[in-house]
Amino acid sequence: MSLDYNSLLLAIGFSAACLSLTLFGIWLTARTEKFLLTWAISALLIVGDVFIYRDYIYAPGRLLGMASFAVLLVGFSTMLGAAYQFTSGRSPIPLTVLGSGISLAVALPPMALGYDGLGFMLENSCAALLLFATAREYWKGRAEAPVPIISLTVLYCATAVSFVLCATVLAWDGRLVLGHAPSNWAENLSLVIVIASMTGVGALSLALNQGRLARYHRLDALTDPLTGLLNRRALFDLNNSAPIGAFTAVVVFDLDGFKAINDEFGHATGDRVLKVFAEELARDLRPTDVAARMGGEEFALVLGRTLPETVELAAERIRTAFAARVIETETRPLKCTVSAGFAFGSKEGLSFDKVLSGADKALYAAKRGGRNRVSTLRRAS
């Protein structure tokens, strides 16, 4: 083996070590992002393989060869688990164990029996399959951030192809027993590709994580923490950009006697009442509908491509379903009611503020009419 090869190998180890430390450090500051820890572990395993394989180059032996195979394949399986964890939010352990088990069962026996040439062919093939599977996991989640995720997919595929080339050259050579580490143009090319890809994967992975954190923070800023619905700010952000047309309705709901509920049963019970109503409000929504908590006991629903009769039926369904809910308290069962008012935009288009104001007027009419009812202002004015 030339000095250049060893230098490239050490460069991979150094890059992987830096990536592992960086990912681990970021995970320490945001422990909810558990996939960062899985990524860090996979990179650390690659570091371990670099040093074991370097020893194998100088002193080839079955045990060192098997150890190198095991650490590399478990590392790539962990990398696959990290990709799955990133895209699905689920535990990486089952997929990591499955990938490790299958690849080790394929690659280790030939090396253990002394057929190191065959072992390297199978190890490279298994490594390529694991990397292709990792690329596939990212590809499935490309909708989240198309450009960086597609770039990651390309890098993992390029690395996988380099391992395919290594396996192909060994198979073409046809020697089942080598007695030393493989040394050919494919091995050198693979190291160069791995170094370049690892740098890119590290940068893109960190960028993806930062982008996801930014989206989480934005979502938190637009979400009501108690009910999980959108908040007032989000409602206005979504509906202020374009005029409200004649077939879009805004429905405003206000829980009847909510202050009295808080006074008699306490704020914890009041919070439960709000959650129960939010459940009814969000039930059976279409993908284009928007439900939000305006603040306090006031909620809003924006329905597009609809008619007055349909809106009234939807509001009545919510009103009657909420009135039928029984909330158990320490003193007695509690049943609550809600009043609602709705208004439409116009053919010419009205501002969201104006339509919301019209729905408020209809709500006040429902309150004056005895509460627990739905009132309408068909066209905001």
Tell me if 163 sits within 8 A of 198, measured CB to CB.
Answer: no
Count of domains for the chain: 2
Express each pLDDT in 75-130 by its tens digit.
Answer: 999 999 999 998 888 999 999 999 999 999 999 999 999 999 999 999 999 999 99
Residue 31 makes CB contacts below 8 A (sequence gap 6+) with none
Q: Are residues 210 and 122 in the same domain?
A: yes
Q: Which of the listed residues 192, 221, 250 is the one where a domain comes to its end? A: 221
Residue 220 makes CB contacts below 8 A (sequence gap 6+) with none
pLDDT computed for residue 5 by the predictor: 74
Tell me if 343 sits within 8 A of 322, measured CB to CB.
Answer: no
Q: Are residues 148 and 265 in the same domain?
A: no
Interstrand relation of 249-255 and 290-295 (parallel, antiparallel or unpaired): unpaired
Q: Which of the listed residues 221, 245, 280 is the one where a domain comes to its end? A: 221
Q: What is the pTM of this model?
A: 0.70
Q: Are residues 78 and 175 in the same domain?
A: yes
Among 84, 119, 91, CA closest to 105: 119
Inside any domain, residue 226 = no
Inside any domain, residue 227 = no
Q: Are residues 171 and 28 in the same domain?
A: yes
CATH of residue 290's domain is: 3.30.70.270
Q: Which residues of the chain have pLDDT under 70?
A: 1-4, 378-381
Q: Are residues 98 and 170 in the same domain?
A: yes
Inside any domain, residue 133 = yes
By the 10 Å C-beta count (0-12 exposed, 13-18 middle, 19+ buried), 88 is classed as middle
Residue 377 DSSP symbol = E
The 10 Å CB-count burial string (b at 16+, else e) for 211-243 is: eeeeeeeeeeebbbeebebbbeebbbeebeeeb
pLDDT computed for residue 1 by the predictor: 44
Q: Could you tell me the strand order of the sheet in which 298-303 lies?
A: 290-295, 298-303, 249-255, 338-344, 374-377
Q: What are phi and psi of 345, to 5 degrees?
A: -75, -160
Among 5, 312, 343, CA closest to 187: 5
Q: Are residues 360 and 247 in the same domain?
A: yes
CA 177 to chain centre: 45
Q: Are residues 197 and 336 in the same domain?
A: no
Inside any domain, residue 131 = yes
Q: Are residues 162 and 243 in the same domain?
A: no
Q: Are residues 74 and 216 in the same domain?
A: yes
Inside any domain, residue 245 = yes
Q: Which of the listed residues 221, 247, 271 is the one where a domain comes to its end? A: 221
Q: Are residues 282 and 308 in the same domain?
A: yes
Cα dist. 32→88, 201, 209, 216, 346 in Å?
Answer: 14, 21, 12, 12, 46
Distance between CA atoms of residues 310 and 87, nearest Å: 38
Q: Are residues 65 and 195 in the same domain?
A: yes
pLDDT computed for residue 159 by the predictor: 95
CATH of residue 90's domain is: 1.20.1070
Q: Give the domain range for residue 45.
A: 3-221
Inside any domain, residue 35 = yes
Q: Are residues 215 and 278 in the same domain?
A: no
